[in-house]
Structure 1
Amino acid sequence: MVDDTLAIPNTRRFFVNPGWLRTDQVEIDDAAIIHQWERVLRLRAGDRVMLLDGQGLAAIVEITHIDRRRARGQVVARCQASGEPAVTFDLYLALIRPERFEWAIQKAVELGVYRIVPVTFARSLITGRIDEHRLARWQRIATEAAEQAGRGRLPVVAEPQSFAAALTRAHTADLAILLDEQATVHLRTVLPPQPSLRQIAIYSGPEGGIDPAERTAAHQHGIQSVSLGPRILRAETAPLVALAMLQYALQY
């Protein structure tokens, strides 16, 4: 069964409704998936795909029929999906320029983030209204990035929050950090010598930096300001550097 999973290209991994995988006979009628299979990948009967329930389980499915409206398949193997870090990363990401924010979503998911919460900082530059269509686009970007990266759990893009509201979630994490260019403590120094962390919250600010009042409020909620080094990083780069550092340090 494991060998079957290794034979599936990342372009053939898809998160689907968990209910579709309850039996060994699978029927797909999602228009977007059918278009991807039939028109883009040009899959045919006999080809195999990996379907993920978004909660850590995977099924290798051999397509038995496909047309422009629906596809059917037979489950040939089930297994635990790989690609997930042992720690859950929640990223509270400042709203920045749309194209940079979307790029940050994509790369953060590739690096293992499970939950991305868009946050309005005092110095956030918000362009346009954040409606259900934009949220759906962000979730689609996250889903496609997770499929490409071989993730086993479906990352979540939450609804935007104010900075004050985001702070109230810090207590749920084993470690909560604020990426702060003015911090004098490096990220590596706040990690325990023998890490046993299971959930880390990362707060990452906007292009204009963190307002002093926000820094004070973060500290009052137990969030530690940390530096990533002497260089000034872009708002979309800093959280990715932090994620890479954390996973290296924690061996995840």
Structure 2
Amino acid sequence: MHRFFANKSNFLNNLVVLQGSDVSHIRTVLRLTVGDEIEVLDGEGSLYLVRLSELKNKLIKCEILSSEKNDTESPLKIHLGQSLVKGNGFDVILRKAVELGAHSISPLLTERTVTKSDSDKKIIRWKKIAEESSKQCGRSSIPKISNSIVKLETFCQQASDSDLKLIFWEMENKKRLRDINPETAPNSASVLIGPEGGFTQEEVETARSYGFHSLRLGPRIFRAETAPLVVLSLLQAKWGDIG
């Protein structure tokens, strides 16, 4: 069954209103009509079975038939600071990060970032990718994509409340994730992943000054598109909901 997201403010009594690109998708692409049923998520852990009751050019009204809890979010809120990478690599990383349960994703501009992005257009695109990926993998909420491309130090400052702060650096020769064993399981983790050329020594020192642990993933160096998927999988297996 087709699934859509709607803001909680769009739920009115026994109705939910769909707007924006969902309208043309339902009318033109899916060719649904009055009486057809779809599923709508409110982004807060509830799933609604609804019936299309009124189709207009700019909005669709749906009658709520039933609702149930559908919380598929990980107990570990991972805030991913991912450096921009070449080509469409960030798009691929974003889709996989959504599947792997990242709570929020911030595109980073770092010293060795090669790609220079038209940030406004890219941010809009990335938010759309996050929404579509959330629908496809059954997420009960859409991960937050930052409203702008941020610098590493800004991300570090915003991570002040995270239980766990990690920066992955191929030049680290001592600590790995398996060496991080807090007394209580973390509820949140802020994670920094570098671009193709990795982080500079200065960037790692900056992160450390904000309480980040610098870690190495293993004896091999991963591609920029592979590293975040490995990190997210390991974190979810250790403290989240995978495995």
What TM-score does the superposition give when structure 2 sets the normalisation length?
A: 0.90
Letter in 1 for 2:104: R
Other-structure match for 2:132: 144
- Report the alpha carbon displacement of residue 38 of structure 1 after superposing the two structures with TM: 2.2
2:154 aligned with 1:165, yes or no?
yes
CA RMSD, 1 decimal: 1.8
Alignment of 1:16-31 (within 5 A): 16-28=6-18, 30-31=19-20
For structure 1, the residue ranges without an aligned partner over 5 or more in a row are: 1-8
Instruction: Please state how far the C-alpha of 1:91 moved relative to its aligned partner.
Output: 0.3
Structure 1 counterpart of 2:78: 89
How big is each residue's C-alpha offset from its partner over 1:148-206, in whole Å with a ceiling of 9 and x where there is no partner? Answer: 111112211102111121121232110011111122222122133x6521101110011
**1:118 is the counterpart of 2:97:** no
Residue pairs, 1:46-125, within 5 angstroms: 46-66=35-55, 69-125=58-114
Deviations 1:133-160 (A, max 9, x none): 2211111111111111111122111021
The aligned counterpart of 1:201 is: 190
Q: TM-score, normalised by structure 1?
A: 0.87
SS across alignment from 1:55: coil
Residue 188 in 1 paired to residue 178 in 2? yes
Per the alignment, residue 238 of structure 1 pairs with 227
Q: Structure 2: how far apart are the matches of 1:46 and 1:220?
A: 58
**Could you tell me whether the CA contact under 8 Å between 2:45 and 2:72 is conserved in 1?**
no
Contact 2:76–2:240 (CA<8 Å) still a contact in 1? no
Q: Distance in 2 between matches of 1:90 and 1:98?
A: 23
CA distance in 2, matches of 1:87, 1:59: 25
Distance 1:99 1:191 in 2: 35
**Contact kept? 1:177, 1:225, Cα under 8 Å:** yes
Q: Deviations over 1:207-232 (max 9, x none)?
A: 01110111111112110111222221
**Partners of 1:245 and 1:56 in 2: how far apart?**
25
Contact 1:170/1:223 (8 A) holds in 2: no
Deviations 1:95-148 (A, max 9, x none): 2224001111111011111111111111111324312x2211111111111111
| Structure 2 CA distance for aligned equivalents of residues 42 and 187 of structure 1 | 49
- SS of corresponding position for 2:93: helix
- Equivalents in 2 of 1:86, 1:128: separation in Å? 33
Distance in 2, matches of 1:135 and 1:24, equals 34
CA shift for structure 1 position 57: 2.7
1:31 Cα shift? 4.2
Q: Say whether residues 1:44 and 2:33 are aligned partners.
A: yes
Given that residues 91 and 116 in structure 1 are in contact (C-alpha distance below 8 angstroms), is that contact kept between their aligned partners in structure 2?
A: yes
* TM-fit CA distance, 1:77: 1.2
Count of residue pairs the alignment pairs up: 239
**194-203 or 144-153: bigger deviation:** 194-203
- Residue type at the aligned position of 2:99: E
State the partner residue of 1:13: 3
CA distance in 1, matches of 2:230, 2:35: 42
Q: Which stretches in structure 2 are left out of the alignment for 5+ residues?
A: none
